[in-house]
Amino acid sequence: MIGARSIAEPTIKDTVIHRMDPRAKILILISIVFVAVSLDNQKTMFLLFLTVLSGFVLAKMPAIKIKTLVILLVLLIWGTIYSQALFYSQLPRTVIFTIIRPEFPILGWLTGGGLFVYEEGFHHGAVQGLRSASILSLGLLMCWTTDSRDMLNGLVGLRVPYSVAFMVITAVRFLPIIITEVATVITVQRLRGFNPKKFGSGIIKTLLNILTPTLANCVRRTGTLAVSIQSRAFRANPDRTSLKKLEFSNTDKIVVTVCVFTAISVVIMKLIYNMYTSGIYYTSGLRPVYAIAGGYL
């Protein structure tokens, strides 16, 4: 249970990642999201993914969180690639492997003419998987290296309404507690003779027995939290103060400037390139932009 809870809680250390201003982390995350969504080139996407992973090395994350990250990334990337390779619907499509032939009895008819693995779907799934993995990795890095109070101050410092920022941070703070409760319920079920890994009706019974007490505890804890914050005059004074004053360091300013500039440049170049490929607008003066966007973005 301690291991399950420690996965969701931040690990506070004195590294270059931990010392970054929480506002800088949020701005970097937003910039990387725009870049990841705009990119379609596999090599550039893989380079972005490696850049995000280098943050975990700089942050010196513990082994349990690295193991959790690897499991999540393998499931995400492999699931995305496999699903896209099977159900890729765009043309052209090149079949590289046949799972169910069209003439196979019953299954060939049920699958609408067979089930195949397409080469184009494999490449498309790789891009989609790396895109999601980059965003997921950076989000986890931000959550695992930032204290909840600093994250709240960072959101407020970026002009996010205090009520909204408080709800976001409260939801994040609830996550390790919920994980601990789920682990406790599973342990209790095992002591009562349930097998969570048993296929069939055993899984359904286990899921229902996990969901019911976990949901009940969440509702009870939410009511207690609501009474607690209202009794402390949560909305009494709109002007709030903070014990810790946030301040951008020179490194934060440089990194944020580079990320924001890169995100704006990539989005604009992709927009210009898409207007060119769609036949909406073309000018010979933008040929270098077309070449960069078509070859590397």
pLDDT score at 268: 92
Out of 6-10, 115-119, 249-253, 285-289, which region has the weakest mean confidence (pLDDT)? 6-10
The values of phi and psi at residue 253, to 5°, are -60, -40
> Would the pLDDT of 2 be above 60?
no
Tokens found for residue 185: 């319920």
Count helices and strands (H / E) in the chain: 11, 2
pLDDT band for 3, please (50, 70, 90 cuts): low
Q: What is the pLDDT of residues 135-183, one digit of tens each?
A: 888 888 888 888 888 888 888 888 888 888 888 888 877 777 787 788 7
Q: With a cut of 80, say whether residue 233 has pLDDT above it.
A: no
Q: Is 45:134 a contact under the CB 8 Å cutoff?
A: yes
For the chain, what percent of residues have pLDDT higher than 70? 94
Structure tokens at 2: 């301690």
Lowest mean per-residue pLDDT among 68-82, 128-142, 241-255, 257-271: 241-255
pLDDT tier at 259, thresholds 50, 70, 90: very high
* Local structure of 150: helix, strand or coil: helix
What does the pLDDT read at residue 254? 92
Q: Which residue has the tokens 């941070």?
A: 169
pLDDT surpasses 80 at 192: no
Name residue 118's beta-bridge partners.
95
Residues 6 or more apart in contact with residue 130 via CB below 8 angstroms: 42, 45, 46, 48, 49, 77
Distance, in Å, from the CA atom of 37 to the CA atom of 267, rounded to the nearest integer, reads: 9
Please report, for the chain, the start and end positions of each structural domain, with discontinuous segments joined by +: 1-146, 155-232
Residues in the chain: 297
Query: What's the pTM?
Result: 0.78
Query: Residue 264 above 90 pLDDT?
Result: yes
Confidence of residue 34 (pLDDT cuts 50, 70, 90): very high
Q: In angstroms, rounded to a whole number, what is the distance separating the alpha carbons of residues 64 and 50? A: 20
pLDDT at 265: 92
pLDDT at 161: 84
Q: What percent of the chain has pLDDT over 90?
A: 9
